[in-house]
C-alpha cells in the first residue's frame, strides 16, 4: 500500500511548537484476498527534509460477512 496524498491542516496559523495538525490521507496500492496488510510496505509521501514521520494505521472491514471484494477502510491512524 502506498500513501499517495497527504494534506495537513494546522489548528493555528501561528508558528511554534506543539501545534495540532489534522492530516487528510489518501492510500492506494496493494490488494489482498486474505485481508492481510503488511504495514512494512506502507510508505508516506510529502515528507519534508529529514522529518521523522511514522504512520500507524487501524484498518476495519466494511462488514462482518464473509465474501470477496470486501472493503477494508482506514478507520484511524496516527502520525
Taking only the tens place, the pLDDT of each residue in 21-44 is 666 666 666 655 555 556 666 666
29 within 8 A of 37, measured Cβ to Cβ:
no
**Of 32, 42, 45, 57, which is closest to residue 1 (Cα–Cα)?**
42
**CA distances (Å), origin 36, targets 22, 46, 51, 52, 72:** 27, 26, 28, 26, 10
Mean confidence (pLDDT) of the chain: 68
77 within 8 A of 54, measured Cβ to Cβ:
no
Domain that holds residue 54: 2-78
**pLDDT confidence of residue 5:** 60
pTM (two decimals):
0.31
Residues 60-70 have a mean pLDDT of 73
Residues 46-57 have a mean pLDDT of 75
Q: What span, in angstroms and rounded, lies between the C-alpha atoms of 79 and 42?
A: 13
Number of domains in the chain: 1
Amino acid at each position: 500500500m502506498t500513501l499517495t496524498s497527504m494534506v495537513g491542516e494546522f489548528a493555528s496559523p501561528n508558528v511554534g511548537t506543539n501545534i495540532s495538525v489534522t492530516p487528510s490521507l489518501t492510500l492506494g496500492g496493494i490488494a489482498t484476498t486474505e485481508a492481510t496488510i503488511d504495514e512494512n510496505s506502507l510508505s508516506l509521501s510529502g515528507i519534508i527534509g529529514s522529518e521523522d514521520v511514522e504512520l500507524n494505521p487501524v484498518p476495519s472491514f466494511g462488514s462482518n460477512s464473509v465474501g470477496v471484494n470486501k472493503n477494508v477502510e482506514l478507520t484511524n491512524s496516527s502520525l
